[in-house]
Amino acid sequence: MSLFYQPEVSNGVLFLDEEESRHCIKVLRYKTGDTIQVQDGRGNIFSVRLTSAHQKKCEFEVIDTEFQQPPPYYIHVGIAPTKNLDRIEWFVEKTVEIGVQEISFISCKNSERKVLKLDRLERKALSAMKQSQHRYMPKLNELRSFNELTTKITETDKYIAHVDFDNPVGLARSAKAGGKYCVLIGPEGDFTSEEVEYALQNGFKKVSLGSSRLRTETAGIVACHTLNLINDA
């Protein structure tokens, strides 16, 4: 059964937006009186009955609600977006499938991309959430400076990934299950030594993601998967 999306059901918004309405009524041909399922990306799945099967604004009433607790860990990946947009989109799709709670885009000294629009990425994330049957929509944050992100995050288990650290500890060894993680992934030209130093001063630990030299988006996926694996015992 299809799962539709309306993030504000709990706040009394009892209709689908235009795109979801069209899909529900025009493509899947649901009619007034039919029951569908709506998720809010905040842990709830609502069984709802259509009260107005309008293809631009499909209205419903809630019959039943099922809530799922969020996972007992929190994965936040901070990543310098690549020049090629496809690679960022692919990163978002894959980390959402695998499981991520928050993604921040960082503007670094060596960043190849200083501007980033979130709307396409939000759509990718939504589609991946539905596809992978996750209940929680990850939070995507606008591009911020490295220093701003590094000082403002609230997670307690903070890591900065880098290929060329001396004697690095692997993320899989350093992180413990049940953590509130934030992992920073640098641009193709890597973090500068000043950026690394600044992160260390702000409580980040240096970690390695293994012996392979990974592209930015691959490093982000590998970090996200490693943290999921630690918790998926």
Q: What is the DSSP string of 180-232?
A: EEEEEE--TT---HHHHHHHHHTT-EEEE--SS---HHHHHHHHHHHHHHHH-
43 binds a second copy (CB under 8 A): no
- Which of the residues 91 through 120 are near a second copy (CB under 8 A)? 94, 97-99
145 binds a second copy (CB under 8 A): no
Distance CA 217, CA 98 (A): 14
69 binds a second copy (CB under 8 A): no
Q: 52-90 as b/e, with b when 16 or more CB fall inside 10 Å?
A: ebbeeebebeeeeeeeeeebebbbbbbbbbbeeeebbbb
167 binds a second copy (CB under 8 A): no
Task: Specify whether the CB–CB gap between 104 and 77 falls below 8 A.
Answer: yes
Per CB under 8 A, the list member of 3, 85, 172, 200 interacting with a second copy is: 172
Task: Tell me how far, at minimum, the Cβ of 103 lies from a second copy, in Å.
Answer: 16
Residues near 61 by beta carbon (within 8 Å), at least 6 away in sequence: 14, 48, 49, 51
21 or 226, CB closer to a second copy? 226
21 binds a second copy (CB under 8 A): no
**Which stretch in 112-120, 143-151, 193-201, 221-229 sits in contact with a second copy by CB under 8 A?**
221-229
178 binds a second copy (CB under 8 A): no
**Which stretch in 4-12, 22-30, 35-43, 166-174 sits in contact with a second copy by CB under 8 A?**
166-174
Per CB under 8 A, the list member of 32, 51, 202, 228 interacting with a second copy is: 228
Return the SS3 of 99: coil
Task: Specify whether the CB–CB gap between 88 and 125 falls below 8 A.
Answer: no
90 binds a second copy (CB under 8 A): yes
Residues that bind a second copy (CB under 8 A): 90, 94, 97-99, 131-134, 170, 172-173, 210-215, 218, 221-222, 225-226, 228-229, 232-233
